[in-house]
Amino acid sequence: MTPPKPVARSDTASLWRHFRLFRRDILSAQPSRLYRAWMAEFRTPFFRSYLINQPDLIREVLKVRPMDFPKSNRIAEGLRPLLGNSVFLTNGEVWMRQRRIIDPAFEGGRLRDTFPAMLAAANVAASRLAGREGAVEIEAEASHVAADVIFRTLFSLPISDDIAQDVFLQFRDFQRSQPILNLAAFIPVPGWVPRFHRRRSRIAATEIRRLIKNMVNERMRSIEDGSAPDDLATKIMTTSDPETGRSFSPAEMVDQVAIFFLAGHETSASALAWALYLLASHPEAQERVAREAAVLGDNPRFSDMSKLGFTRNVFREALRLYPSVPMMVRETTKAERFRDRDLPAGSQVVISPWHLHRHERLWENPDEFEPDRYGAPDGPACLRDAFLPFSAGSRACPGAAFAMIEGPLLLSVLAQSLEFGCSGQPAPIPVAHLTVRSERGIWLTVKKRP
């Protein structure tokens, strides 16, 4: 069974038509030729965009000269109300200082420390789903457990805590109301002009930041009196920049917690929901995951994660077919020349994991679900050259290793005690909001495994 993907458009469109399509769904707004092109150009009256799929060009932008291709402010505009000046949106010296403070929290030893919290959230999710046999909207359940993981690991709070639950519900409203691009992405406007943000998005972002501010201030007080738990929030808030000696202020920490929740909750929820759908539609793969999980028993340890080879490949395939972040946009700081084409300074360089992961000249059977492809002779090369769920280079997601423990663990725990099946409803159609989600949800049947 071939996993669903949106029907790509082959017609040309006006700027206004592109804006309308992008607001509705950026994936189906793209022409089908991008699945086999090495490079493509998109022009508007105000700027030029160049999508690149050629691996050596992507390597040049992300790994060789990342400082020459900073993140584009056009995409940042839509997320600014929620993320402020977080590490996801900044560039240059500000970004480098933020990463020097954040990166130590996600080193290997710290991941081992967060594992019990991940496992606790996974077990709670399995128990909750065991009591909901029948048709279940699995995206909502994936969001719930992903939020539980991030709150347990970041603030030592289960999602049942009132504050964590409030942030979760407000973030769900923001995600549903915020398009991946707003009008400022298409039309350049001076900094003093009000941005075109939906009222519902602004309200949700304001409430999320208020709740996070209260959590940060409470944690700062507990750090000062010596009662703070040893979790990710405490680690980040007590880490100083080795070059300046400065740590994050409470206001800066609000920005960072907002992106941790976006990256650690929203993207993980997207990947988990699609992975469960893929297992439901491929029962033989689901049985292999369940058998692999059974070897771990009821109380797996961090060291046991190395035994989940097939489960990890299932999660990789979910990230390949449905990358949580479908497109990344960089900007040229000077004139460049790619594939005998001149890119003026200020051009937008688009790297699309969605198209790269399904590229017809880079992957065999690119639209098929084949977890064993990573053990094939060309598997390592594909992972190196055409697999970017977490970006790459110095701006790769600092939580990538966290996600690659969390995802297989959740799949393993859920598949060990539950069976997932297709509900008989139409196949889910992927669309891009803040992450790749289903247009009308993902409905699966759930029952206890014998």
CATH of the domain at 19: 1.10.630.10
Whether residue 343 is contained in a domain is answered as yes
Whether residue 191 is contained in a domain is answered as yes
Whether residue 243 is contained in a domain is answered as yes
Which of 20-34, 123-137, 192-206, 393-407 shows the lowest mean pLDDT across its residues?
192-206
pLDDT tens per residue, range 424-439: 888 999 988 778 888 8
209 Cβ neighbours under 8 A, 6+ residues apart: 82, 84, 254, 258
pLDDT tens per residue, range 178-196: 555 444 454 454 444 444 4
Number of folded domains that form the chain? 1
Task: Give me the mean pLDDT over the 162-170 stretch.
Answer: 76
- Among left, alpha and beta (phi > 0; psi -120 to 50; other), residue 257 is alpha
Within 10 Å of residue 191's Cβ, how many Cβ atoms?
Answer: 6
The range of the structural domain enclosing residue 411 comes to: 15-448
> What's this model's pTM, rounded to 2 decimal places?
0.91
Whether residue 346 is contained in a domain is answered as yes
- Dist CA 391 CA 51 (whole Å): 15
Whether residue 10 is contained in a domain is answered as no
Within 10 Å of residue 280's Cβ, how many Cβ atoms?
Answer: 21
Whether residue 322 is contained in a domain is answered as yes
pLDDT tens per residue, range 23-68: 556 787 778 899 999 999 987 777 788 999 999 999 999 999 999 9
